[in-house]
Structure 1
Amino acid sequence: MPKHRVLTEFGMGTSLRRQDYTQAARRGLQDALWHNSINMAELFGFPKDAMLIDVEIGVQEPDQVDTASLMDIFPYGQPTITVHHGGLDIPRPDGKPTVIANVAINVSFEMERA
């Protein structure tokens, strides 16, 4: 069956002092997820585990994001995480940047078009 996207959510997260790209990504994921109550599975009559969750994370240092440690954020569904160059590092007077991660979450289901 074809995969159909039914929802996109956006979030932003920061690491103000530690330059922790994984923590900034975690906060961006939480920002996107925690502000919503997504009942898409029930709406379409699917179990929650049928949710296909594609996560795109943008940070200035993609290789510094530990994607495996972010998987515990998702209580259900089938998440995949991809990290790209993006986000923003903002210089600070002490020479260490504030890290900003941008996150997009797409929720899809495998279903036929009506």
Structure 2
Amino acid sequence: MSDQRFIIEMGMGNDQYGMDYTKAAARAIEDAIRHSSIPLFDATGLSHDAMRVQVTVGVAEPDKVDCAALIASLPRGRAEVKAVEGGLNVVNPDSGNTLVIATAAVEAFLPKQT
């Protein structure tokens, strides 16, 4: 039986001073799920453990993202996080500081219901 996607949320986050790609990615994920409420579980009696959560974060330097830390921060479901090239780095010409911008897509899947 294959999974069926029932939610996709997008978000954006940044780290303005530390060039911390994991922090920017965490903020993008939080932005994506902050306004979501899924009454499906209460309405059907399904366990949150039945849900597979797939997160893709885009940052300029994906190898600097701690995907395990991001998985640990997700509140529900069986999560997987993948970092890919994307997002944006913006250099402040006055200070030389680099602002890291991350994007995130958070998708939720359940086994097909009959």
Structure 2 residue aligned with 1:34: 34
Give distance in 1, aligned partners of 2:42 and 2:96.
49
Post-superposition, which runs of at least 4 consecutive aligned residues in structure 1 deviate over 4 A?
none
Matches within 5 A, 1:5-24: 5-24=5-24
* Cα deviation code 1:44-73 (max 9, x no counterpart): 542111111000100000000001111222
Percent identity, please: 37
Q: TM-score normalized by structure 2?
A: 0.90
Deviation of 1:40 after TM superposition, in Å, equals 3.3
Deviation of 1:41 after TM superposition, in Å, equals 2.9
Structure 1 residue aligned with 2:74: 74
Structure 2 residue aligned with 1:99: 100
SS class of match (1:19): coil
* Cα deviation code 1:78-114 (max 9, x no counterpart): 00001100001111122231000000001010124x5
Give distance in 2, aligned partners of 1:40 and 1:51.
11
SS class of match (1:9): strand
Pairing 1:110–2:111 present:
yes
SS class of match (2:31): helix
Matched length? 113
Letter in 2 for 1:16: Q
Letter in 2 for 1:11: G
Q: TM-score normalized by structure 1?
A: 0.90
SS class of match (2:76): coil
SS class of match (1:6): strand
* Cα deviation code 1:17-63 (max 9, x no counterpart): 11100000010111111222223333454211111100010000000
